Amino acid sequence: MNLKGIYTAVRQLFVKNAEIDLDNLPQHIAVIMDGNGRWAKSKGLDRSAGHAAGAETLREIADYCSEIGIKVLTAYAFSTENWKRPQKEVDALMDLLYEYLCDADNKLVGKNNVVRVIGDVTPLREDIKKQITYVEEKTKNNDGMIINLAINYGGRDEITTAARKIAEQVKNGEIQPEDIDEKMIDNNLYTAGQPWPDIILRPSGEYRLSNFLLWQAAYSEFWYADICWPDFTPKHMKLAISKYQKRNRRFGGI
């Protein structure tokens, strides 16, 4: 066995044996669902097959998180920069998002979860917008886990939008510039009223935020893995939570 093989075997052992403390769970877990394209390529498949597999992984991970009692799961599905991709891939992603939202209607509602879409929905297809409104409306009174689907989401766009909303209030004389504080900005984000992510996971071997939850991530713990999102399983989630539970969060204190 070469070095990489040994590393993989040791890692699998850790994944299998990770134990988590169910009384000390992160409230909010955010995932950057990356690596679908590379996963598909490694199997000789079209990139869209990777996205389809990634959507399946999200269903499984959402089930697991809601079963163990996570309060909020945020999944980065499509960034404000992902429009740069070839039209064929954008179309395939939009089809999958639509399917996911229809499926959420069938499956998630019964599970008592709340589905929310975070991001600028304005440029999305009409059928997608309609389905978003429908699913959000249908699940809004549930009291289970909140699933935030980040669609056409960008952290910079979110902060810009919040700034614009606050500027309108100043313009209308409803507030004064000195009334603006962190709480007000927070309350004007897509995630208003929700806890900040305790942990942000990024599989695929990349080490960047890619414009995800820029404001909310101020004190989030990071977890990276060099597997692609479609290969991510509840066991990896368990490992990430177990590692998180051993971290010492200081928030600037000692």
76, interface contact from Mg ion, ligand IPE, none, CB < 5-8 Å by kind: ligand IPE
DSSP state of 82: G
Q: Which one of the spans 72-80, 96-104, 172-180, 244-252 is the region binding ligand IPE (CB under 6 A)?
A: 72-80
Determine which helix (DSSP H) or strand (DSSP E) holds 114, and give its type and residue range.
strand 114-118
Nearer to ligand IPE, 37 or 197 (CB): 37
Tokens 């169910």 belong to residue: 22
- Smallest distance from Mg ion to CB 38, Å: 8
User: Is residue 208 a contact point for ligand IPE (CB under 6 A)?
Assistant: yes
204 Cβ contact list (under 8 Å, min separation 6):
32, 34, 35, 38, 225, 226, 227, 228, 229
Pull the structure tokens for residue 45.
């498949």
User: Is residue 212 a contact point for Mg ion (CB under 5 A)?
Assistant: no
* 148 catalytically annotated: no
Pull the structure tokens for residue 20.
């988590």
Nearer to Mg ion, 76 or 244 (CB): 76
Q: Using the rule CB under 5 A, which residue among 34, 158, 198, 221 binds Mg ion?
A: 34
Q: 210-249: b or e for each residue (b if 16 or more CB lie within 10 Å)?
A: ebbbebbbeebbebebebbbbbbebebbbbbbbebbeeee
Query: What mask of x and - would describe binding to ligand IPE in positions 35 to 64, judged by CB under 6 A?
Result: xxxx--------------------------
197, interface contact from ligand IPE, Mg ion, none, CB < 5-8 Å by kind: none
Please list the active-site residues: 34, 82
Site for Mg ion, rule CB under 5 A: 34
